Amino acid sequence: MRALNNVCVLTVMFVACATAGRLRAQIVESPLADASAASPESLPLSAAPLFAPAFEFVQVIQQPAGPPATPRHTGIKALVKGLIVDFKYLPSRENLFWAGVGGGLAAAVHPLDDNLNRGLVGNDVAENVFKAGEVLGELPTLLTSASVVYAVGRIGDKPRVSHVGMDLIQSLAMSEILTQTLKYATHRERPDHSGHNSFPSGHAADTFAFATALERHLGWRYAVPAYTFASYVAISRLPANRHWFSDAVFGSAVGIIAGRTITSHEAHPFPVAVNVIPGGASVMYVRSNK
């Protein structure tokens, strides 16, 4: 029971980290046209920093951003070309921020890795509850789901639907490329000693990439179920003794980076902007009224 309680706490931590900026943000009426026009001096008083002076977290929200604009072409050629082009948007301050958050959290929970795995591995309740996570979070399962959405849109001549499937496929592809590169670079041994490709968790990265792209298209109301599912899959790797908790934490950040990179440069940008300000950085959620 104690181990199961630990799992519940870990799941809540994942969901909180993934959705805090979206679900707990304060709505501020602002005349800002876009994130790039914002400056620290122009921010309203109600958007004052929450943490100071080491880190300043500022949120400015006008209204939830709409889904990405549907491109003219959503065929196979556009899908492949779009993925290649998307990689040039990978280096950004926003992605550096998410990588820093993921790396910081992974380093913070690293001392807990051994104790968490010791408490969860061999626990019948935890293993039964999270057993489905292995299959649900596998790349073939997620890729099949994304491909079905894409095929339905293409066959039914529904560009908006095929666009969702296209972004899901591209997000999974980018997530896998980033994950496998990091696995090769870090060469961390798995807790069950089955290999040296533990860090980061591919299940966590792929499901968080899937959830991030899905949320972008379907709206903020789907953030909780999407990230709850992703958190469930990420945590499931601990009772299975396939990953450390820090693997899952950083894997979730990799997935968020992949999902937001695929959708960030489209006609309606991803509503997150990170700006350096005196004493730290500001994280703003802004939608243009243009």
- Please compute the mean of the pLDDT values over residues 121-127 and round it to a whole number: 92
Q: Are 16 and 228 in contact (CB under 8 A)?
A: no
Q: pLDDT class for 274, splitting at 50, 70, 90?
A: low
pLDDT of residue 21: 41
Bridge partners of 284, per DSSP, are 273
Percent of the chain residues past pLDDT 70, beyond the cut: 67
CA distances from 241 to 11, 92, 237 (A): 17, 34, 6
DSSP string, 15-41: HHHHHHHHHSPPP------SGGG--GG
pLDDT of residue 148: 96
pLDDT in tens, 213-269: 998 888 877 778 999 999 999 999 999 999 999 999 999 999 999 999 998 765 444
Domain definitions of the chain by residue range:
69-269
What CATH code would you report for 69-269? 1.10.606.20
pLDDT of residue 54: 42
DSSP category for residue 72: S
Q: What is the H or E stretch that residue 275 is in?
A: strand 273-277
Write out the two tokens for 54: 């080491």
Q: How many CB atoms lie within 10 A of CB 64?
A: 14
Query: Residue type for 254, please?
Result: V
60 pLDDT exceeds 50?
A: no
